[in-house]
Structure 1
């Protein structure tokens, strides 16, 4: 891990309020996309096809190499909404153990150490993500975070409608989400931290007093340099998964999909913060 920034003294929270720390999920707490592990679990249970799994695997590789864009995020949510419409909520709740089995080994230990250090010093810690509220809450619970905000999925009569039940937690939506958390939980955003990898999270990062860029994409790295923000670099996949290696990863995903189809049932420590 490398970190680039002066270790400044943290601003004191306003009287009666607390500082907090907000963490994006994908490429910040977790290497790659947590959504891919939902797809893999769904394929193992016969809910999606092997072709769909391979396509999602390719999207995960591209995400790790390049990060997200507004267009890719929109397309992901269009696919998710179309796929979820009419599906039973219970069927997806039962995928949770498989999803966690995929996600937990890909957590960055360094980022967990930073999060828990904040918590030990009296600051509540939250996951704030464009992934679903179900994903955010599940991971926050298992990691003993104090809360989580994600995209809320609409449910009617025990089935997903394919629509959102509230605002999308993306770009300005994330900033609004932490402002609501601050009002609800008595937090001082000016004395708080936010961690993210993507320029799409600039509204959230600029809403706090201590923004930190983690595995930043090109635009966020540029802004962080310009603004003098702290930078933490953990992601090294761009040097390992180019050309033939990336293609090999996709071939392996295809094999995983075939195995899932055959087997499915019928029917580190971060720097101390002040």
Structure 2
């Protein structure tokens, strides 16, 4: 970032840029491959996903559950699982329209960041596939090359996204209040705090609660893939 105030373009990931949920999908993948106990893990994974969609998720409780599998396995194993997950589950969900949207902002000289509640381990290759130079995600704590099972810093969820985006901008003596403009794309009511901070909020395949707010506030609504893929 130079002395001129930049424009930033921020993008949620799940059901915004891809027609699925990368966090919940990771849990389904682990269950389908037999890498975790099926009955226990599937039930918990679905329970927390229901909380997320309702806007009532306890993010720390969820991270304690989701990060245990990271802490219980070595990095070589985890990276092999992640590669398999990306190639078999995520890659088929990459849509040219979503890729083009990110590219449009990048070509306009905007500083683009993927801003997701899903943890950084899962989302690193997804961010790379979209060409993002910046990933702002919930961070899984590491110690001596292994995950501890704990969250590092503030979870990137709800108002935590504002905290973490500003922390990223502060590294360059900026904040959301001190950029030329900010764009933020999201589908979820959980992202209302950051949408309200953006100069140009855009809702993408919004859930019912966010759709109602977007209509009331005259926020633009777009689709990047057919709705039947977004369930």
- Seen in structure 2, the aligned counterparts of structure 1 residues 31 and 210 have a Cα distance that, compared at 3 Å, is same
- Tell me how many residue pairs correspond in the alignment: 224
Distance across 1 between alignment mates of 2:145 and 2:30: 18
What is the CA distance between 1:225 and its match in structure 2? Answer: 1.4
CA distance in 2, matches of 1:183, 1:51: 44
Q: Highest CA radius of gyration, 1 or 2? A: 1
Instruction: Tell me which residue corresponds to 2:144.
Output: 157
Correspondent of 1:207 among 176, 197, 201:
197
CA deviations on 1:95-128 (whole Å, 9 max, x unpaired) are 2221211112113432221111010111121110
Q: Distance in 1 between matches of 2:26 and 2:125?
A: 12
Q: Kindly state the Cα deviation for residue 226 of structure 1 after the two structures are TM-superposed.
A: 1.7
- Return closer, same or farther for 1:144/1:193 CA change in 2, 3 Å cut-off: same
Q: Deviations over 1:47-74 (max 9, x none)?
A: 21333565478569969xx935223756
**Higher relative contact order (CA closer than 8 Å, sequence separation 6+):** 1
Whether the 8 Å contact between 2:102 and 2:130 is mirrored in structure 1 is no
Shift of 1:92: 1.1
The whole-number CA distance in structure 1 between the counterparts of 2:55 and 2:35 is: 27
**Alignment TM-score, normalising by the size of structure 2:** 0.82
Q: 1:59 to 1:189 in 2, by over 3 A?
A: farther
User: Does the CA-based 8 Å contact 2:142-2:148 persist in structure 1?
Assistant: yes
SS of residue paired to 1:42: helix
TM-score w.r.t. the length of structure 1 is 0.70
The CA RMSD measured in Å over matched residues stands at 3.0
Q: Is the 8 A contact 2:189 2:209 kept in 1?
A: yes
1:29 corresponds in structure 2 to 17
Counterpart pick for 2:65 among 67, 75, 79: 79
